[in-house]
A and B are shown apart, each in its own frame.
Chain A
Amino acid sequence: MTLAALSVLVYGAVLADAVARDPGIAGATVVVGAFGLLFLALVLWRGAQEYLPAAAACLGGVYAVAVVVHGASVDERAPLVAAGLLLCCELAAWSVDERTRIAAERPVVRARAGALAALVGGALAAAAVVVALAAAPAGRGLPWTIAGAAAAVLVVALAVRSTQR
């Protein structure tokens, strides 16, 4: 229950950040965010983890629209939002895993909490590196766009392949 509440709390924080970013589209943001919350509730209530990416996609979409509408400047809080999204998903997944009411030893809980902290910390650092690299004057133009697209395809292919292994 605590994990579920924390997950909803993190979701609410990210949604509030997106809503506050551009009050002009607050209505649409809240509606899409509420859909995401509905998916999250479905995950937490029914234990259906397959709806977790849908909840994250709704929230991520809300944030993306808010960022695009807001302006051309790079949002420095993007790594925090990204890490918050992952934390929300992982807390919800942990909550679902604990629904089985299996008495867990303290080291088991510590191991998962440690792994989660490491993952979210690592994700925050990686996202921060991405944002920092974007600010660096490395270059621009078609070759860079092609290189970026190839890197994106490579990362996605790697992720998909590793999940199917």
Chain B
Amino acid sequence: MTRLASPRLTGYAALAALALVAGLAAGRVELVALATPFALAAVLGAAAGRRPELAATLAVDRERALEGEDVGLTLELSSPTGASRVDVLALLPDELAPARPNPRALWLPPGETRTIELPLRCDRWGAFSLGPVLVRARDALGFHAWETSLAGSVPLRVYPSVETLHALLPPFETQVYVGNQVSRTRGEGIEFADVRPWTHGDRMRRINWRATARRGELWVNDQHPERNTDVVLFLDTFAEVQRDGRSTLDMAVRAATSLAHRYLSRKDRVGVVSFGGFLSWLLPASGTRQLYKIVDSLIQMDVVLSFAAKGVDFLPPRSLPPKALVIALTPLLDARSASAILDLRARGFDLVVVEVSPVPFVDPGKGTLADLSYRLWRLSRESLRARYERAGVPVVEWVDGVPLNVPLEEVAAFRRYAGPVRA
């Protein structure tokens, strides 16, 4: 506990001394009377400076919340000695907005416990640590103050809100496990594919009796099997652009959460790769548990400045399974991620690039030079996009404020008419 003494305490003592000496020298009682209040204040102020005993506990009503929801933070403060004034400040991240004043000054009677309810509105997703609580206790006249931090910290995870997606990108190839995606191959399934002549091993119930009667030999139905898919969400975390509390990473995380939620509800396997200064990955898996793991990893993502050259080779092979649909969410700001995406395409992955556009976050600037550099920057982005298209990678620009459904539908339309290109 740090003790702070007001400078006026020493000043009062000095004033009292000065007035007393002057009173003695001049032989005037008025000066002694003038010294009396200051001497009294100095003595009383010093006597009142006893260190208070403070204890605090911090609790949050739940550990997980959704963006936009309210959570309740409860702070219990007690002191056996009491304090005339206790300034309490719960250290909170900027993304959580308190609905009541923070800090606030309390009166703490001896032996009593004060409970402070602090409702917080979760403005933005993230993994947060609430606390510790900074406490400053003062004596009645503010001659002394004691500062300390109490109560440690409590974790709170705020998950990003999920956007409703009407349709998802179907992959070119499915996996071998059962799922909800109608495969392009033929086999056991529900969806009718074609009829063909009967061969040994075909089951009786697959015989198409109408075609058999018409052609005079046994014909059977073929179906498309329902299979699952592997989807890898490839997030570029090398760089981001921010403006007014919004950023390209923010958009990418929201999109990744929505896509993961939707694909996992379809029994697909979803994995995540964070490709940036800090490399991390989550192997593809399915189920609700995987959704939580993905969202937990997404909310901890951040842009870490790094100049190290990184490629796809740094990733473990299992993080990018064969035949997986790779959806890259990138602002296309860093050359390393741009080349890594081309590398993925060269390795034959079914790749889609959703360009989280940084353009709305950037001011063109004033002056001829600024205008010229802005136009050059836009041109270089277009050139990069053209490079991807030449490599057969569909690139779609996603601008802030536009629903994610729009770029997804654009890519789906592109893929409907364009087949996969073998590198």
Contact = CB atoms under 8 A, between A and B. Distances in A.
B44 to A, nearest CB: 7
Nearest to B5: A163
Interface string A56-91: 110010011001100000110011011101100110
| Chain B interface SS verdict (over half) | helix
A46 interface: no
Contacts, number: 180
Contacts of A89: 8, 12
Nearest to B34: A82
23 contacts: A82-B33, A85-B37, A89-B12, A103-B101, A108-B84, A108-B85, A108-B105, A111-B107, A112-B84, A123-B37, A123-B40, A123-B41, A130-B29, A152-B21, A152-B24, A159-B16, A159-B17, A160-B10, A162-B42, A162-B47, A163-B13, A165-B46, A165-B49
Contacts of B16: 155-156, 159
Contact of A162 (B19, B26, B46, B85): B46
Interface in B64-104: 84-85, 87, 101, 103-104
Contacts of B11: 50, 52-53, 56
A75 to B, nearest CB: 5
Contacts of A97: 138, 142
Given A49-B8, A100-B87, 13 more contacts: A53-B14, A56-B38, A64-B31, A67-B31, A103-B105, A105-B105, A108-B106, A108-B107, A111-B140, A112-B140, A123-B41, A130-B29, A163-B10
Interface stretch (A5-13, A23-31, A114-122): A114-122
State the 9 A-B residue pairs at the shortest beta-carbon distance, nearest first.
A53-B11, A162-B46, A123-B37, A115-B140, A134-B29, A104-B105, A107-B107, A103-B101, A159-B13
| Chain A interface SS verdict (over half) | helix
Nearest to A77: B30
B33 A127 contact: yes
Contacts of B241: none
A85 B41 CA distance: 12
A119 B13 CA distance: 15
Nearest to B100: A103
Could you say which interface size class chain B belongs to? Answer: 35 or more
Given A82-B34, A108-B105, A126-B37, A57 B29 contact: no
Contact of B30 (A67, A107, A111): A67
B104 A57 contact: no
B56 interface: no
A133 B287 CA distance: 90
Interface residues of A, number: 60
A60 B34 CA distance: 7
A24 B28 CA distance: 20
A42 to B, nearest CB: 13
A63 B26 CA distance: 13
A94 interface: yes
Contacts of A122: 40, 44
Contacts of A142: none
A128 B140 CA distance: 24
B179 to A, nearest CB: 56
A64 B104 CA distance: 43
B316 interface: no
A57 to B, nearest CB: 6
Contacts of A114: 140
Nearest to A124: B37
Contacts of B36: 79, 82, 123, 126-127, 130
Contacts of A34: none
A126 B41 CA distance: 11
Given A53-B8, A130-B32, A163-B46, A68 B26 contact: yes
B303 to A, nearest CB: 34
Given A82-B36, A119-B41, A155 B9 contact: no
B253 interface: no
B106 A163 contact: no
A94 B29 contact: no
A130 B33 contact: yes
A102 B87 contact: yes
A103 B87 CA distance: 9
Given A89-B8, A162-B47, A111 B20 contact: no
A60 B18 CA distance: 10
A165 B5 CA distance: 10
B46 A156 contact: no
Nearest to B18: A57
B8 A159 contact: no
A102 B105 contact: yes
Query: Which of the listed residues B21, B32, B34, B38 has the most CB atoms from chain A within 10 Å of its own CB?
Result: B34
